[in-house]
Amino acid sequence: MVVNCAEVWQQISNYLDGDLSAELRQAIENHVRGCKHCTAVLEGTRNVVRLYGDDRVIELPANFTQKWQQRLPLFIPSKGTAYGWLVAVAALAIVSGTFALGKATTSTVQALRSQHSEQAQKIPAAMMVEVAADGKTFHVPGCKFIHQSSDKVRLIAAADAMRAGYVPCVRCLREYLRR
């Protein structure tokens, strides 16, 4: 059996607890012997478990629990106080405002077809451009950089092309790009 790094990381807790079949345990040990990354992850996880499992590492003062319980009510407003209601109303206002802002900023433009493109600016909406059905850009008619045969290219208004997520060709429409 051979395992990869992702499988080792997924099983690292079970490996440290000894909850693996002998075959999987041997495969992980073989992998860790030859993989520096997995060795580091295994040793780091082992150290964290060892630190948090040792009561001597983090010692709390003797009266820590009593002091904490006495101070805790200072941080939690009691029910029905004006402060508590004010916090609740402020939280509601923030949540409502977030939804309203999100709704107001949504656009009717589809996601751009290319992740590396910029939205066009100042392109006349009525300008007729060519698009290929499986392409990502729109071009001026006759652009030599369109990558489709003429039977798969259609002519549409620039506004419709932008709404459909097409972006301008950087060669034939460069004057309309943000640069």
Residue range 122-174, pLDDT digits in tens: 788 888 988 887 777 888 888 877 765 656 788 899 888 888 888 888 778 77
Residue type, 75: F
Question: pTM above the 0.75 mark?
Answer: no
Q: What SS3 state is found at 152?
A: helix
* Alpha carbons 31 and 21: distance in angstroms, whole number: 15
What pLDDT sits at residue 21? 93
For residue 160 the two structure tokens come to 């419709």
Determine the average pLDDT of the residues in 24-44: 92
What pLDDT sits at residue 4? 92
Determine the average pLDDT of the residues in 3-26: 90
